[in-house]
Amino acid sequence: MFYYSIKRLLMLIPVLLGMTLIVFAIIHAIPGNPALTILGTKATPEAIHSLNRSLGLDNPWYVQYFSYLKDILSGNLGTSIQTHAPIASEIWPHLAATIELSFIAMIIAVFVGINAGIISAWKQNSFLDYTAMILALIGVSMPVFWLGLLEQWGFSIKLQWLPSIGRDDIRNGVDPITNLYLIDTLLRGRLDQFWMVIRHLILPAIALATIPTAIIARMTRSSMLEVLKSDYIRTAKAKGQRMVWIVYKYALKNAFIPILTVIGLQTGLLLGGAILTETIFGWPGVGLYIYNAIQYRDYPVIQSGILIIAFIFVMVNFIVDLLYGLFDPRIKYR
């Protein structure tokens, strides 16, 4: 197990290097003069020159790449063209916002998806099953941003039940500690604000959770159908155990590994969906940070934002891989 972890860790290195190379290319593979592209056609020669120097664009690309790598390793993610602030310090609040949103969305997806899948399989071919599967089909076919807009229209504009923008009310802002607002409000003992944060989370989290929920529901259903046909379920039934009991006991027993897999795979979808969801709901996460950077052609921010998210995705999958080994006795590593 120890050697397996080391081996996996070593295998990460080329992937991470490749990632940085691609992200590095965002600035350096732009045809023409990158500084001109970044600054726009009205830029003064001095501005171009100084940007060229600050980005190190005078050197050959491999020199630039290595200094870029060195910067990243020392925690320097570059400077935002828009705000002139170092990205590394600017990005953490955004990252925390994205992590909070994705985490809640993942919980919704796992809970709803697994239960819908189990019930669908258990009541196979019933009205309930058909409804759930049609919803799941629409869920995987749904553009996240459209769902978000519909939610805003229905629940914020028409019904006025929930806020549609941001993480908190402007006049009742959360005083950040960790920047994970659910935790911060509790730490400060502000239950009213905790409730406010939850109300802000609901709509974007549901939008973001839609696709993973649908995928998890479909996966759970088909694997449950197989389990329900197996001999040990028939034996349990023959022994006269109650069906609800059987289904949930065996389902959950067998569900952990698929849940892990799904979490690993869906993290990518979630983080990717976050950029669209955050744009719609004005959620100040990395997605919105990147989106604003795109509008402003703030290439260093686009670079670092994408790199951070890809890095998180890779690390989640790495951890999921290791967890397999801990939780599934059938998987043995040498």
Question: Is residue 306 close enough to count as binding another protein by CB under 8 A?
Answer: yes
Binding to another protein, residues 129-148 (CB under 8 A)? 137-138, 140-146
By C-alpha distance, which of 151, 160, 163 is closest to 198?
163
Report how far residue 200's alpha carbon sits from residue 221's, in angstroms, rounded to the nearest whole number.
Answer: 31
What is the x/- site pattern for another protein, positions 26-65, by CB under 8 A? x--xx-----------------------------------
Question: Is residue 273 close enough to count as binding another protein by CB under 8 A?
Answer: yes
CB of 320 to another protein, least distance (A): 13
Binding to another protein, residues 141-200 (CB under 8 A)? 141-146, 149-150, 152-153, 157
CB of 37 to another protein, least distance (A): 8
Report how far residue 317's alpha carbon sits from residue 9's, in angstroms, rounded to the nearest whole number.
Answer: 11
Indicate the residue among 197 and 217 with the shorter CB distance to another protein: 217
**Stretch (H or E) spanning 310:** helix 299-327
Pair 93, 179: CB distance under 8 Å: yes
Pair 203, 160: CB distance under 8 Å: no
Residues in the chain: 334
| Contact region with another protein (CB under 8 A), list: 66-74, 83-91, 237-245, 287-295 | 287-295
CB of 240 to another protein, least distance (A): 32
Q: Which residues contact 259 (CB under 8 A, 6 or more apart)?
A: 110, 114, 216
SS3 86: strand
Q: Where are the beta strands (DSSP E) in 18-69?
A: none
| Contact region with another protein (CB under 8 A), list: 14-22, 47-55, 168-176, 229-237 | 14-22
Binding to another protein, residues 195-254 (CB under 8 A)? 219, 222-223
CB of 314 to another protein, least distance (A): 5
Burial class of residue 169, CB neighbours in 10 A (0-12, 13-18, 19+): middle
**Interface pick for another protein out of 125, 159, 295, 332 (rule CB under 8 A):** 295
**Stretch (H or E) spanning 329:** none
Pair 312, 305: CB distance under 8 Å: no
Indicate the residue among 43 and 149 with the shorter CB distance to another protein: 149
The residue whose two tokens read 């972890």 is: 5
Indicate the residue among 86 and 272 with the shorter CB distance to another protein: 272
**Interface pick for another protein out of 118, 269, 289, 304 (rule CB under 8 A):** 269
SS3 84: coil
Indicate the residue among 81 and 275 with the shorter CB distance to another protein: 275
Indicate the residue among 117 and 184 with the shorter CB distance to another protein: 117
Tell me the backbone φ, ψ of residue 86, rounded to 5 degrees. -65, 130
Rg of the chain taking only CA atoms, in angstroms: 24
Pair 246, 145: CB distance under 8 Å: no
Indicate the residue among 179 and 303 with the shorter CB distance to another protein: 303
Question: Is residue 310 close enough to count as binding another protein by CB under 8 A?
Answer: yes
Question: Is residue 280 close enough to count as binding another protein by CB under 8 A?
Answer: yes
By C-alpha distance, which of 328, 274, 314, 254 is closest to 106?
274
Binding stretches for another protein (CB under 8 A): 3, 7, 14-15, 18-19, 22-23, 25-26, 29-30, 137-138, 140-146, 149-150, 152-153, 157, 219, 222-223, 268-269, 271-273, 275-276, 279-280, 290-291, 294-295, 299, 302, 306, 309-310, 313-314, 334
